């Protein structure tokens, strides 16, 4: 019985992530439009866009190989699995015990690898530019992310997210310099990973400035729908990750009953709304940085993560 419940909760979590992801994207878009004093599209517009794309036929470039066709499914699957590993409204989900933060980083890395390959595979110059820029960003964002993971695991004694969240929730953590540094680093990585301003502009039509959009420029139909959905899921994943680690309040624990889960879901949606609002506010207040400045931005994230881990290590062992 308990196992069935575990499956139900885990399944519910996966479904919830999938359903909420476009809503979060729509929410950020609406907020950004309102901040610019525009009315903005409906909250449900991303769902309509996905439906529209699913109904459209796929146009493939002559130069595209099987890799280009397969990549969207791999990318979507990897990111969906990664998202399902994050404790959102409840900790201690079935999958939480099978994979930790490092597995999440690896899954995201795999998705990115295939996206970059697909960008190169199609053979257009924009795909190549996008892939090369994406790899430049990744080469700094991934180590920075790992540094954050190390900081957290040093502190909580585990790389498992449920343990980390539980530790932050229950233990008397207090204010710690390492945690602040890790939060800052994680925020910077999240912005870069999700192709948001100032690293990339998700709304641009200027081919020459694109990073993420340049790689997916040749996709259409259901392939594009999967990629868009994966991008929305990734944004949801990062906001969930940040709120699970740094604001785990209201999260239900495993084995609890109905109402607690409902409270957990409400708290989770509240956190997403706040996260989306902060993202929209930040994006509106800043211009995109020069492509060659991105390495400095992410280099700073890497250093912050490293500093956090080092501080903790030094204060522990000496």
Partner 1 sequence: MNATASLQTVLEAGQPVAEHRPWPRVIVTPELWTTLSEGLARGSWTLLGLWGESGTVHLAVYEAPGEFGIASLPCPDGRFPSVGRLHPPAQRLERTIADLVGLQPVDAPDSRPWLDHDRWPVRHPLGSATPPSQTLPPYRFLPVIGESLHQIPVGPVHAGIIEPGHFRFTANGEAVVRLEERLGYVHKGIESLLQGASLEKAARLVGRVSGDSTVAYALAFARAVEAATETEIPVRAHGLRALMAELERLANHFGDIGAICNDAAFALMLAHCAVLREQVLRASMACFGHRLLMDRIVPGGVATDLPVDGIAILREFIAGCRRQFPPLVELYDNTASLQQRTVDTGFVKPALIQQFGCGGPIGRAGGRTFDARCQPGYPPYDELEFTIPRRTDSDVNSRIWLRIGEVEQSLALIEQILERLPSGPVHGALNMPGRMGEGVALVEGFRGDILVWLRLNADSTVARCHPRDPSWFQWPVLEAAIENNIVADFPLCNKSFNGSYSGHDL
C-beta of 87: minimal distance to partner 1 in Å? 33
Binder among 47, 126, 277, 313 for partner 1 (CB under 8 A): 126
Interface with partner 1 in residues 13-42 (CB under 8 A): 32, 35-38
62 part of the interface to partner 1, by CB under 8 A? no
Beta carbon nearer to partner 1, 176 or 288? 288
293 part of the interface to partner 1, by CB under 8 A? yes
Binder among 44, 286, 296, 315 for partner 1 (CB under 8 A): 286
Binder among 12, 198, 221, 250 for partner 1 (CB under 8 A): 198
192 part of the interface to partner 1, by CB under 8 A? no
281 part of the interface to partner 1, by CB under 8 A? no
In a 3-state reduction of DSSP, which class is residue 90?
Answer: strand
208 part of the interface to partner 1, by CB under 8 A? yes
Beta carbon nearer to partner 1, 3 or 203? 203
Beta carbon nearer to partner 1, 126 or 277? 126
DSSP symbol at 252: B
Binder among 285, 314, 317, 318 for partner 1 (CB under 8 A): 285
Beta carbon nearer to partner 1, 2 or 206? 206
232 contacts 21 by C-beta, under 8 angstroms: yes
β strands within 15-80, DSSP E: none
C-beta of 294: minimal distance to partner 1 in Å? 10
287 part of the interface to partner 1, by CB under 8 A? yes
The residues that touch partner 1, with contacts defined as CB under 8 A, are 32, 35-38, 125-126, 128-129, 132, 197-198, 201, 203-209, 217, 284-293
């Amino acid at each position: 019985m308990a196992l069935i419940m575990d499956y139900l909760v885990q399944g519910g979590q996966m479904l919830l992530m999938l359903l909420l992801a476009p809503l979060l994207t729509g929410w950020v878009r609406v907020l950004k439009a309102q901040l610019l004093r525009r009315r903005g599209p409906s909250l449900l517009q991303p769902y309509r866009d996905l439906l529209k794309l699913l109904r459209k036929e796929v146009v493939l470039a002559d130069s595209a190989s099987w890799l280009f066709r397969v990549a969207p499914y791999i990318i979507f699957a990897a990111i969906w699995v990664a998202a399902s590993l994050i404790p959102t409204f409840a900790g201690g989900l079935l999958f939480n015990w099978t994979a930790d933060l490092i597995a999440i980083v690896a899954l995201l890395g795999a998705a990115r690898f295939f996206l970059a390959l697909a960008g190169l595979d199609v053979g257009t110059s924009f795909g190549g530019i996008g892939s090369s820029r994406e790899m430049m960003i990744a080469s700094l964002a991934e180590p920075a992310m790992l540094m954050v993971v190390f900081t957290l695991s040093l502190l909580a004694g585990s790389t498992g997210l449920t343990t980390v969240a539980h530790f932050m929730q229950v233990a008397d953590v207090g204010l710690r310099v390492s945690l602040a540094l890790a939060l800052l680093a994680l925020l910077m990585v999240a912005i870069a990973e999700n192709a948001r301003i100032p690293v990339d502009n998700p709304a641009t039509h200027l081919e020459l400035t694109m990073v993420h959009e340049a790689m997916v420029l040749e996709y259409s139909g259901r392939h594009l729908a999967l990629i868009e959905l994966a991008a929305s899921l990734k944004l949801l994943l990062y906001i969930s990750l940040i709120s699970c680690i740094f604001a785990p309040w209201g999260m239900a624990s495993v084995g609890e009953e109905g109402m607690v889960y409902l409270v957990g879901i409400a708290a989770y949606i509240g956190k997403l709304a706040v996260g989306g609002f902060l993202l929209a506010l930040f994006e509106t207040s800043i211009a995109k940085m020069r492509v060659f400045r991105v390495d400095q931005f992410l280099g700073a994230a890497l250093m912050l993560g490293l500093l956090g881990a080092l501080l903790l290590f030094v204060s522990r062992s000496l």
